[in-house]
Amino acid sequence: MSASVDERRRHRRYAYDGPVEYRRLGPATPGRIRNLSEGGLQVELPERFSSGTQLSLDLSLGDRSIHAEVEVAWSTDPRDGAMTPYPHGVKFIRLELQDRLSLAVFIAKVYGG
Residue 54: pLDDT over 80: yes
pLDDT tier for residue 79 given thresholds of 50, 70 and 90: confident
User: What confidence score (pLDDT) does residue 26 get?
Assistant: 85
Helix (H) or strand (E) holding 92: strand 86-94
CA angle at 17 for the pair 14 and 23, rounded to the nearest 5°: 105
Neighbours of 102 (CB within 10 A): 19
Contacts of 31 (CB under 8 A, 6+ apart): 19, 20, 21, 22, 43, 44, 45, 46, 85
Question: What contacts 17, CB < 8 A, 6 or more positions away?
Answer: 32, 33, 34
Q: Does residue 81 surpass a pLDDT of 80?
A: no
